[in-house]
Amino acid sequence: MNKTIKSALLLIIIAMFSNLAYAQTKITGKVVDETNSPLPGVNIIQTGTSNGTITDLEGNYTITASADGTLEFSFMGYETQNVSINGQTTINISMEPSSEILDDVVVVGYGTQKRSDITGAVASVNSEALKERPITNIEEALTGQVTGLQISSTGGQPGAATKMNIRGITSMSGSSQPLVVVDGFPLSEVNTSAGGAGGEAFGVQIGAMSYINPDDIESIEVLKDASATAIYGNRGANGVIMITTKKGMKGSSGITYSAYYGIQEMKKRIDVMHFRDWVGYHVLRNSTSELFVDPDGNPYIFDDPEAMNINWQDEIYRRGIIQNHSLSMQGKAEKTSYTLSASYNQNQSILVETDFKKFTSRMSVDHQFSDKILVGSNLSFSNVNYNGTITDGREGTAAGLVIQALEANPYRLDQNTAARFRRAGVPGNVVENYLSNYYGGPDEIAKNVDLDKSINRFISNFYFNGTSFLKPLKKSM
């Protein structure tokens, strides 16, 4: 009896191991990305178990799993895929990028990292933040978006350069400007000097990022501390602003056009004296003024002070316009991705004789020659035209247009007003003397003084990515 029971148990155990051996299947395959390039390091695990493996440098893998189980393929920046085995012995996978996961990937000096793995301080601004408001340059979009990044304009003119400081001023004498990097290539400053007569001191400096079309930007990363010097050395000592432009992606082929148009206007003016009040104030301060006081010390009486009065703010300010037009085309074939874009931006200032126009174009192409070779190139051209006038002074040597509009006498001395001075009793020779030495009001200075600039900038770069041609070493047992 005992012998019979032992034999039955032995048969049951053998049958169980036979079924287990039959249920386990050896599975091989290859994992590639959307460009058909191998993906090394992809995690592969049989769901519900701890049984797993990873792909080698060629994207190949081998795993033994249950024939009726499910394999989970996961990799940072790509959609996780679950595939039922169903007795298959070969399973090849093509993984697609995940936009949600990419939101948590940050560009740093040597590549990309998950935000949770970064020990340095990094701030990100995506393309959606750039679409929320009309902007002439990228610095305007960054204002108030990044903690620790201080941005101040060097002037009120459209396209004017900005001063950017990350975590405060780092040098008393040197520059505190952070390094700007576009698609991995540092963007150098452009010398916008007009030269001659020292007029450049009163003009506008065009910002380095004014040459970039905001619609071309995919994301902006601001590196604030040691991570900024990981690859750029002392050039990144003041921090690094890394700009990543848009690339063609599979499934996103098409043509995009965007535009906006707006009107800008100064509604409120600073209160200034009327001509009538100014004459009384002027006589009190200068009782010997020949133009307003007779030889006996009596002020001249003007029959129509309203006709004499002029508020120079109304003469130098106008209704301006701002407009932007952007056209882009992007797509991705089996091995080639491309992006073409062009934009036109105009900011006609509320200040007379001041206008900013910018035209940009960009082409980005990359081609996957093989599983190991990716070659690409970026070409960009920018044309910036700035028409302006003197808007500020330097070291007390001159007053800019805005200040002059507040300080100038509230009348225009021309033939019309000269006749009114004569009718008030001012001697003709006195009027002619003042008239001959009159150089015009602030609006005439704006029309006669030009600080115009036309800048063309062409940037090109070429890159090559290659994986090792050597097969990984295999250890023999």
What pLDDT is stored for residue 437 in this prediction? 85
CA atoms within 13 A on the CB side of 59: 18
Q: In this predicted model, what pLDDT tens digit does every residue of 193-204 receive, in sequence order?
A: 544 444 455 556
The torsion region of residue 124 among left (phi > 0), alpha (psi -120 to 50) and beta comes to: beta
What's the CATH code of the domain at 82?
2.60.40.1120
Confidence of residue 22 (pLDDT cuts 50, 70, 90): very low
Confidence of residue 273 (pLDDT cuts 50, 70, 90): very high
Kindly state the average pLDDT of the residues 208-237.
Answer: 75
Q: Is residue 52 part of a domain?
A: yes
Q: Is residue 438 part of a domain?
A: yes
Q: Distances from the Cα of 274 to the Cαs of 18, 290, 333, 338, 423, in angstroms? A: 107, 20, 70, 62, 20
Q: Please tell me whether residues 114 and 179 are part of one structural domain.
A: yes
Q: In this predicted model, what pLDDT tens digit does every residue of 347-378 receive, in sequence order?
A: 998 988 888 899 999 999 988 888 778 888 88
As for how many domains the chain has, the answer is: 3
Mean confidence (pLDDT) of the chain: 78
What pLDDT is stored for residue 82 in this prediction? 92
What pLDDT is stored for residue 170 in this prediction? 58
3-state secondary structure of 190: coil
Question: By mean pLDDT, which of 207-221, 228-242, 390-404, 410-424 is the weakest?
Answer: 390-404
Q: Please tell me whether residues 355 and 377 are part of one structural domain.
A: yes
How far apart, in whole angstroms, are the C-alpha atoms of residue 310 and residue 441?
A: 10
Q: Please, what is the end-to-end C-alpha distance for the chain in angstroms?
A: 47
Kindly state the average pLDDT of the residues 40-66.
Answer: 90
How far apart, in whole angstroms, are the C-alpha atoms of residue 167 and residue 120?
A: 13
User: Among residues 98, 113, 142, which one ends one of the domains?
Assistant: 98
Q: Please tell me whether residues 427 and 359 are part of one structural domain.
A: no
Q: Please tell me whether residues 237 and 343 are part of one structural domain.
A: yes
What pLDDT is stored for residue 204 in this prediction? 61
Confidence of residue 469 (pLDDT cuts 50, 70, 90): very low
Q: Is residue 81 part of a domain?
A: yes
Residues 6+ apart with CB under 8 A from 458: 379, 380, 381, 382
Q: Is residue 457 part of a domain?
A: yes
The percent of residues above 70 in pLDDT, for the chain, comes to 74
Q: Please tell me whether residues 214 and 175 are part of one structural domain.
A: yes
How far apart, in whole angstroms, are the C-alpha atoms of residue 426 and residue 293?
A: 8
Q: Please tell me whether residues 53 and 173 are part of one structural domain.
A: no
Question: What is the token pair recorded at 275?
Answer: 């001509």
The CA-based dihedral angle spanning residues 270, 140, 325, 387, taken in that order and rounded to the nearest 10 degrees: 50
How far apart, in whole angstroms, are the C-alpha atoms of residue 216 and residue 202?
A: 32
Q: Please tell me whether residues 371 and 396 are part of one structural domain.
A: no
User: Among residues 46, 65, 98, which one ends one of the domains?
Assistant: 98
What's the CATH code of the domain at 156?
2.170.130.10
Q: pLDDT: is 112 or 161 the higher one?
A: 161
The model scores a pTM over 0.85: no
| Domain ranges, residue 46 | 2-98
Q: What is the helix (H) or strand (E) element at residue 383, kind and residue range?
A: strand 373-387
With CA atoms as reference, report the closest residue to 345 among 389, 391, 385.
385
Q: Is residue 159 part of a domain?
A: yes
**Is 80 exceeded by the pLDDT of residue 423?**
yes
